[in-house]
Amino acid sequence: MEGTRWCVDCQEKIQELSKPVCDICGLPQFYAGTCVKCLHKPPAFKMLRSWASFAHPIQKALHRLKYRRDIGLGEAISRHMTGFLMKLAWPVEILIPVPLGKRRLKERGYNQVGMIAKPLAMQVELDYKPHSLIRCRDTRTQVGLTAIQRHNNVKGAFKAFTKNIENRTVLLVDDVATTGATLSSAAEALKSYGAREVYAVTIARALPIKMAPKYS
């Protein structure tokens, strides 16, 4: 039953992203169309969309899933993501979670994104291929880095495998997007190894301070 792992009160406080958003990177803005950043330097993915703002209670839920081993939250969150993804109606064929590096995976014991991505793939009937993309080198956490530092940190950090993705349209799933640098780097790897196109979706979006929702 939904709510067993995630209380109804918290779910009702979720701040879904408002529109309009950039046609490409999905960042909320004051006008329809493509943002200046994407016009100047478009990312490797075709589109990125995020369900909610990375604020309470989404932030707390993702932290519990990631750091406190509350794995059951993955399925609870995936149920919300199912409707969100179906409304997007993207022509995707396979679903791949953004992978962790070997060191972080060993420390944590699981990929928290996979805990959401696997049940999501089942619910929307997409092929789930988590091993089609690997992080070929460990990267430092993106928290606290500038946009340029984030881009450099994940540049060339991923490798894909042609067998599962060649000439197919991929849906990348991650927990949080800030600048989109990680997703763009992963999409670049997938496309360079034969993917036809790459779309990306995240549970949350870390917004600039001026856009972040305020709570009393």
The residue extents of the domains of the chain are: 10-205
> In the chain, how many H helices and how many E strands?
9, 7
pLDDT at 136: 84
Across residues 190-196, what is the average pLDDT? 95
- Write down the mean pLDDT value for the chain: 89
75-108, pLDDT tens digit by residue?
A: 999 999 999 999 999 999 999 999 998 988 999 9
pLDDT (0 to 100) of residue 3: 44
Contact 86, 121 (CB under 8 A): no
CATH number of 10-205: 3.40.50
Higher-pLDDT residue of 152 and 85 is 85
- The stretch 61-68 carries a mean pLDDT of 92
Helix residue ranges per DSSP H, 157-199: 162-165, 181-192
Q: What are phi and psi of 71, to 5 degrees?
A: -65, -30
Cα 114 → chain centroid: 11
CA-based nearest residue to 127, from 177, 89, 168, 161? 168
pLDDT of the residue at 13: 87
pLDDT at 162: 82
Under a CB-based contact definition with an 8 Å cutoff, are residues 189 and 158 in contact? Answer: yes
Residue-wise pLDDT for 11-49, tens only, equals: 888 999 988 999 999 999 999 999 999 999 999 999 999
